[in-house]
Structure 1
Amino acid sequence: MSKVQTGLRYSEEHEWLDTDAAPAKIGVSAVAADALGDVVYLDLPEVGSELTAGTTCGEIESTKSVSDLYSPVSGTVVEINQEAIDNPALVNEDPYGAGWLFTVEVTSEGPLLSPEEYASKNGGEL
C-alpha cells in the first residue's frame, strides 16, 4: 500500500499541498507515483505563471503513461524544483521530500482532502 503523508492536504487528482511551507509546496502523492510507474519527464509551470485551482498546469510522464498535473490552488508560481526536472525519478523515490514539484504564493485553495479522506478514497495508508 502507498504511503499517505500526514500534515498535508490532497486534491482529488493526487497532488499534495503543504501550506506550512511559505510559499506553499506542491507535489504528487506516493499513490500517484506508484500508479504511474517510473517517472521519466516533468513539464512544470513556469516561474511567475498564474495558476487556477483545479486546472491543468503541467504534465508528468512515466514509462506507462502521460498524465496532467492539476493545481490544487490558485496563485503565482514562485519556484520549480530543478532537481526533479533533471532527475524525475525523485518523484518515485521521495514524493513528499526531494520529489516536490513547485511552490506557489497562494491566493485561494481548491477543494482539498485530509490525509485520512485521501487514504480512504485511494487505498493508501497513513
Structure 2
Amino acid sequence: MKKILTILTFFTFILIGCGGSSAEKTAVDFTQKLYTSNTKTVVDMLYLGDEKPSKADMDFVFQKIDSVLEQNKAKAKERGGFKKADVIKKDIDGNTASIRVQTTFKDGSTQADTMDLIKINNKWKIRL
C-alpha cells in the first residue's frame, strides 16, 4: 500500500509539473527563440490584439521580427552564442504579467530585458 501511495504521489508531481504554460516559462522560451529560432515560431508567441490582423499588418510584423531575429543572431554570434535565459524578476497580476529575463551568452556576458505578457485562452502571449 505504501509503495502504491508513493507511486501515485510521484505521478501527481509529474502531472502538476507538466501543466499549462506559465508566464515565466513563456518569457524564457520567447527569449531563447529570439536568438535561435525562426520568424513564424516567434510570431506565434505574440499577442497581436483581439481582432485578426490584416495581411498587410501580418506582413509588417513578419518583416520586423525577421529583422530582430537577424540582429539577435548576429549579437549572439559575437558573444559566442546563446547560452541560457533566466527569470530575474516577475510581477504577475491575474491575466497580465511583467517578466524580467536575463540572457546569458557563451562568453559570459549578459543582457536583461523586461517583457509584458497577457493570458489569452489560458495561454501566455508576449504583448508588444
- Common fold by TM > 0.5: no
Q: Which has the larger radius of gyration?
A: 2
Higher relative CO (Cα under 8 Å, sequence separation at least 6) belongs to 1
Whose helix fraction is larger, Structure 1's or Structure 2's?
A: 2
Structure with higher strand content: 1
